[in-house]
Structure formats: C-alpha cells, structure tokens
Amino acid sequence: MTDHITPDEIIRLDRVTKRFGGITAVNDVSFGIARGEIHAVVGENGAGKSTIMKMLAGVYQPDNGALVLRGEPVVIGDPLQARKQGVSIVFQELNLFPHLTVAANIFANREATQGPGLLDERQMVAATRHVLETMGVDLDPHARVGRLSVAEKQLVEIARTLEQQSEIIIMDEPNSALSAAETERLFALLRRLRDKGLTIIYVSHRLEEVFAIAECISVIRDGRYQGTWAIAETTIPDVIAQMIGRRLGETFPHREAVAVETPVAVAVRGLRTGAAVGPVDFEVRAGEILGFAGLEGSGVNDVFHVLFGLAKPTAGEVQYKGRTSPPRSPFDAIRQGFALIPANRRDEGLLTSWSIRRNSS
C-alpha cells in the first residue's frame, strides 16, 4: 500500500485547516485530485471529510492554507462562487423544491427570461430535456419533483450540476438510500461523466462500493490526511486500518444474546400500515437492541411512526405495559416512555432556527 502521486491535478488542498471555536475539524490537510477521475474520500463519522467537501464547495472557508484550482490559488467565498469556478456538490440530504417541476428545480435561482419579469419556460424545458438526454436519463422535465423516487431526485441534482457546466462534482453519500439496481445505474452514469472528462469526488462509508466505482481513495482520520492510494494497489482491510488507526481482528465481535427469560418490553403482532407494509411481528426484550434494515420506502419508518403515534395501523397490535393498542399520538407515546429519532433529522427532528437548549427542552 504505497502513497499515490496525483498527475494532472485539477484541484488541491494545500495545508488546509478549519476550526469551529476551539475544535479543529480539519488539520493541515494537503492532497490533490486528478482531472477526469472518480476519487473517493473516506473516513469515520466526524473525521472531517464533509468539512473538507464543504470548503471545496464554498460552504466553509479555510482558516489556514489554500485551495488550488487548475494550478492557481483561489478563494471560494460561497457556493455561487464555487459553481462559477465549476465546482458543485450533491448533498446526502437533497436540496430540491418538491412542489416545483424538474426543469424549475434545475434552473432554480438561474431562471431563463425573455424580458423583465417574464420566464422563458420553453427554453428551460428544452435545456432540461437536453441535459437529461445527455445523461441517458428518461425523466419528464414537467414532472413534479415531490412525486419522484429518491434515485430520480438524485438524478435531478446531478442534472442541475451538469447544466451549470460543472467540471468537478462532489457526491456526498450518494447511494445511502438507493437499492442495488439504482446504485448500479448511478455508477454507470458516473463512469460516463468521468469518461467525458469530469472529475467526481465520491464520499461514502460503503467501502465495497467505493472499490467498485473509484480509481483512487484518500483517507481522513481525526481531521488529518492519512494518504491517497490507487484502488488497484490497496485493499479494504488496509483502508479500514488507515481510517481507524489499527487493524481490526474481528469486524463484528461476538455478543451474548439477551437471555430468553428476560421480560419482553414491547411485542408487535400482525401490524399492518397501509396496503404495502405488513404483517410485522417482533419482540424486544428489556436491555436488548433490535436492528431494522431496509431501503428508503421499504416500510421501516412506517413501523416506527406507528410505534410513536405518528400514524395509525390498519391492523395488528402493540403490546406495551399492559396495553395492546399503539400510542394515539406522539404526546401519548412520550408519556408511555417512547422516543423517536427520525431518519430526516433536519426536517422532522429539529427546529434549526432554535437554540440547542430550546430544541432539547
């Protein structure tokens, strides 16, 4: 596993540091990314990789060091400047307007006009259709974004970056809610974009998929750069060791199951919600952690919403503390001792305009 020399760099971080108060999130990081490659950036949660991506995209500015773009130091003061420099980012939490059309989202804040105050919708629709055809994507420019699947929404985000003539596209956890088939379609698109000379910076926790899509991989640990390696010259265990600073003897160590005589805390029997989910049956014993797995739209969140009183089941029962019916409302659920951390924390879990104290009270 030898450090990688980057030829034909399009962008470089040169001794970049970023602090938030007394916390150094990114510490003296230097590495480059080549033109026309898919370059993965990986690290544990909190390692600093998202902060690095936000500096490249103009969301944050470095406290020390410099960003070098096409061989010249640049100051990227905000995302608009980043886009003018040809750098765009597709965030994990997609930034689209659900009530607007695909074309309107692609041209949001850059609307084509044919006179003062008069939008040129025909031109925007034609340009949207052209960029979607270039991507090999079959989407209606007139479709409402709120009615699209997660995978289709992501394609709209990518189309927006291409219509903006971006040369560098940052993908932040792009396939976290995609099925295997949708992920492969996304990868095929990214490979086509790479073959046209675009640079893709790919941030992900899924190392198997990183090794399937990227040519190079850079590792960040505790805010510091650990190195860059060609995918063909390294292995997943080597990368994990760089990410956490040690070799893992066992990825999933043995854990003792909760004893069968332990009292059942919650029992769900024959639960159905809507036409697509159920019947669901499970038990959770006191002191036990029960994991659920499922893609976006699989029904996992629907079950949680019933348990927290956000939705009513069409059949089944929830047995808890002598009751057999689920909570009638979130207030009722909280009184019974339930809590919910939603999947969409930004829109459903927090009031971002409020303080931490007010949110937690």
Tokens of 232: 């063909």
| Euclidean distance between CA atoms 90 and 353, whole angstroms | 23
Question: Is a pLDDT exceeding 70 seen at residue 227?
Answer: yes
- The neighbour count for residue 153, using CB atoms within 10 Å, is 19
pLDDT for position 36: 94
Instruction: Tell which CATH classification among 3.40.50.300, 3.40.50.1820, 3.30.565.10, 3.90.1300.10 matches the domain 9-244.
Output: 3.40.50.300
pLDDT of residue 263: 84
Given a contact cutoff of 8 angstroms between Cβ atoms, the answer to whether 312 and 277 are in contact is no
pLDDT score recorded for residue 108: 86
Beta pairing partners, 41: 203, 218
pLDDT at 255: 73
Structure confidence by residue, pLDDT tens digits, 241-275: 999 887 766 556 677 777 778 888 888 888 888 76
pLDDT at 184: 85
Whether 45 shows a pLDDT value over 60: the answer reads yes
Place of tokens 């291409």: 162
17 closest CA partner among 8, 26, 30: 26
Cβ neighbourhood burial of 77 (10 Å; 0-12, 13-18, 19+): exposed
**Residues present in the chain in total:** 361
Instruction: Quick: pLDDT tens for 283-336.
Output: 888 888 888 887 666 778 888 888 888 888 888 888 888 788 888 888 888 888
What would the pLDDT profile of 157-214 be if each residue is shown by its tens digit?
A: 888 888 888 899 998 887 666 777 778 888 888 998 899 999 999 998 789 989 999 9
Rg of the chain, C-alpha, whole Å: 24
The region of weakest confidence among 110-124, 143-157, 230-244, 340-354 is 340-354
pLDDT value of position 250: 58
Task: Tell me the per-residue pLDDT of 47-100, one tens digit each, with 9 for 90 and over.
Answer: 999 999 999 999 999 999 999 999 999 999 998 899 899 999 887 767 889 899
Q: Check residue 217 and give its pLDDT.
A: 96
Q: How many CB atoms lie within 10 A of CB 315?
A: 11
- In Å, what is the CA distance from 147 to each residue of 102, 294, 310? 10, 21, 22
- Kindly compute the dihedral angle of the four CA atoms of residues 302, 307, 310, 315, in this order, to the nearest 10 degrees: 70
CA 239 – CA 214 distance, rounded (Å): 13
The encoded tokens of residue 235 equal: 């292995």
In CATH, the architecture of 264-360 is: 3-Layer(aba) Sandwich (3.40)
Residue 87 is predicted with a pLDDT of 94
Asked whether this chain's domains 9-244 and 264-360 adopt the same fold, the reply is yes
Q: State the CB neighbour count (10 A cutoff) for residue 194.
A: 19
Domain ranges of the chain: 9-244, 264-360
